[in-house]
Chains A and B, each alone.
Chain A
């Protein structure tokens, strides 16, 4: 009789707790990505235009410092970032724990990653097309907003999709220390209470979410790409 009880109990928990957990995972992921894009996009643009051959070359030492900082942030494990940004999180959110508060460390961890993704997308733009814009009298701002970004939209969409799925993975970790969502459920039930059924169910849901995001992103990127003959 233990089997059906465990299943029934698990189902009960799924029904009562999962809708909120899914919602928390999704909104934390989306908001953290959004904020990371807000910081990472201009930074990625700066990395490309400030380069030696870029449209607005910056001093070499400055570019080096920016690059080192980005690499540093990228190499710090997420768990450490959560702890290090505690004061910042408290400052911004009033508290360092909870679902909403986890958006801060997620953003800090994700923006350098996004900056690199944006950089690689923008570097795909044909330099000859940028030269065309210059020859037509475009200034740097116009080149960024009317050439570089619009021309790399499909690649940006594909890369932001990657960022979304990565950040979704991070939310599971932030769930471990105070954040909400499916990650928290997987850990509290699976690790602390040995309810493996619930843990498996949460993990499967995370996988499904990643699949949905990835498939949608890939389709969107190719639908937006006019370089393909259609």
Chain B
């Protein structure tokens, strides 16, 4: 288990001070894939670098399995780092070393015998699907392949935690998916806790179980991905989850009332639902606004419907009948 308790980081430079992190409290369970998402400059990289003490927090502590990292001396810290491996946006491979030598690097650092290190590295290259590339140099590999080498390298010291700082931001969508699949596989097969930093919703959506939304150095919201995505409470969360929702403006039509339908893991897709409501109940709904996403075949998000005043009560009853849907009336100043 990883616990960040009251974590703050202030940078002081000649240009002034920057409060990059303010009182961060996050608990990450073993085996989780935990996403940390936020806009550029929100403090994501600073946060992940505090987790392995590449950056010393100004205040607060990091516990990994109840070991207080901020109390460790440099030597003890270097040992812990073998158990908390890191994957980077730009792969950070040694350009003058082959794929195999790159994977051997952390083992070499830990003074593992070369033969044992190579055997382990070959095994890991196989795990990431690059057994035929062990003698290739990074410049001869594609971005996706380079990230696979970097992931194999991160796994070399049998870490318990994998910290990924924007692991797919330099990759195209297809490659992104294959790298995310690999990370999910590693989490499942090797029981490694994964922390993924990203600014892409799609990354959190496709692999994370829990998520924290970082806004301007603070945790705006955290929880299970489904919940946070279904009903983002904070403005920062809304802006990230439904970039369109800032445009949500209730254009009320004469004689119609607006109701907000919130999907919280509903199994129905929104269009057929509206269509069935029309055909079965004779209720015609006017979709004023909709922003939903489908995660694991379930719908999350919200929708504004304009409905004839007389039919509102019946519509509410019909819609609440489905699982994972709640309905609210929208007042003028909502």
- Chain A interface (Cβ < 8 Å from any Cβ of B): 126, 128-129, 131-139, 142, 146-147, 150-151, 153-154, 224-230
* Contact partners of A137 in chain B: CB under 8 A: 78-82, 106, 109-110, 157
Contact flags (1/0) for B107-142 with A, using CB distance below 8 Å?
A: 011100000000000000000000000000111100
| Bound-complex Cα distance A146 to B163 (A) | 23
| Bound-complex Cα distance A150 to B95 (A) | 10
The answer to whether B109 and A132 touch across the interface, beta carbons within 8 angstroms, is no
* Contact partners of B80 in chain A: CB under 8 A: 137
Q: 11 A-B residue contacts at CB 8 Å?
A: A128-B90, A129-B94, A135-B85, A136-B82, A136-B153, A137-B79, A137-B106, A138-B109, A146-B105, A150-B94, A228-B139
Contact flags (1/0) for B138-170 with A, using CB distance below 8 Å?
A: 111000000000000100010000010000000
* Contact partners of B81 in chain A: CB under 8 A: 134-137
| Bound-complex Cα distance A148 to B58 (A) | 29
The range of chain B's interface size is 20 to 34
| Bound-complex Cα distance A133 to B82 (A) | 11
Closest Cβ of chain B to A208, distance in Å, is: 32
Out of A128, A139, A226, name the residue touching B96 (CB < 8 Å).
Answer: A226
The answer to whether B95 and A227 touch across the interface, beta carbons within 8 angstroms, is yes
The answer to whether A132 and B88 touch across the interface, beta carbons within 8 angstroms, is yes
The answer to whether A229 and B94 touch across the interface, beta carbons within 8 angstroms, is no
The answer to whether B94 and A136 touch across the interface, beta carbons within 8 angstroms, is no
- Chain B interface (Cβ < 8 Å from any Cβ of A): 52, 54, 74, 78-82, 85-86, 88, 90, 92-97, 105-106, 108-110, 137-140, 153, 157, 163
The answer to whether A151 and B95 touch across the interface, beta carbons within 8 angstroms, is yes
* Contact partners of A225 in chain B: CB under 8 A: 96
The answer to whether B139 and A128 touch across the interface, beta carbons within 8 angstroms, is no
* Contact partners of B97 in chain A: CB under 8 A: 150, 226
Closest Cβ of chain B to A52, distance in Å, is: 11
Most chain A CB within a 10 A radius of its CB, from B85, B93, B96, B153: B96
| Bound-complex Cα distance A147 to B106 (A) | 12
18 additional A-B pairs beyond A131-B54, A137-B110, A227-B139, beta carbons within 8 Å, are A126-B92, A128-B90, A129-B93, A131-B88, A132-B88, A133-B105, A133-B109, A134-B81, A135-B81, A135-B85, A136-B85, A137-B109, A146-B109, A153-B96, A226-B137, A226-B139, A227-B95, A229-B139
| Bound-complex Cα distance A132 to B103 (A) | 12
Residue of B nearest to A128 (CB): B92
Closest Cβ of chain B to A135, distance in Å, is: 4
Out of B92, B96, B108, B157, name the residue touching A132 (CB < 8 Å).
Answer: B92
| Bound-complex Cα distance A153 to B94 (A) | 12
* Contact partners of A139 in chain B: CB under 8 A: 74, 78
Residue of B nearest to A129 (CB): B92
* Contact partners of B54 in chain A: CB under 8 A: 131, 134-135
Closest Cβ of chain B to A145, distance in Å, is: 11
| Bound-complex Cα distance A147 to B110 (A) | 14
The answer to whether B82 and A229 touch across the interface, beta carbons within 8 angstroms, is no
Closest Cβ of chain A to B55, distance in Å, is: 10
* Contact partners of B78 in chain A: CB under 8 A: 137-139
| Bound-complex Cα distance A147 to B137 (A) | 15
